Amino acid sequence: MLDGPSVVAALKECGVTDVIWIPDSELGMWEPALSSNAELRLIRVCREGEAIAVAAGLLLGGRRPVVAIQCTGLFEAGDTLRNVVHDMKLPLFMIVGLRSYYAYQQKKTSDTCPVFAEPIVRAWQIPYTIFDRGHTASDLSQVYRQAQAENRAAIVCLAE
Residue 51 clears pLDDT 80, i.e. is over it: yes
Q: What is the dihedral of CA 28, 103, 77, 3, to 10 degrees?
A: 30
Provide the CATH number for the domain around residue 104.
3.40.50.970
Write the CA distances from 2 to 37, 97, 123, 140, 158, integer angstroms.
Answer: 17, 12, 27, 9, 9
Residue 1 clears pLDDT 80, i.e. is over it: no
Report the SS3 class of residue 68. strand
Q: What pLDDT was estimated at residue 92?
A: 98
Give how many domains the chain has, as a whole number.
Answer: 1
Q: Which domain holds residue 58?
A: 4-159
Q: What pLDDT was estimated at residue 26?
A: 82
Confidence of residue 23 (pLDDT cuts 50, 70, 90): confident
Q: What pLDDT was estimated at residue 78?
A: 94
Instruction: Say which range, 82-86, 107-111, 148-152, has the weakest mean pLDDT.
Output: 107-111
pTM: 0.95
Residue 25 clears pLDDT 90, i.e. is over it: no
Q: Which residue has the higher pLDDT, 1 or 76?
A: 76
Burial class from Cβ neighbours inside 10 Å (0-12, 13-18, 19+) for residue 14 reads middle
Give percent of the chain with pLDDT exceeding 70: 99
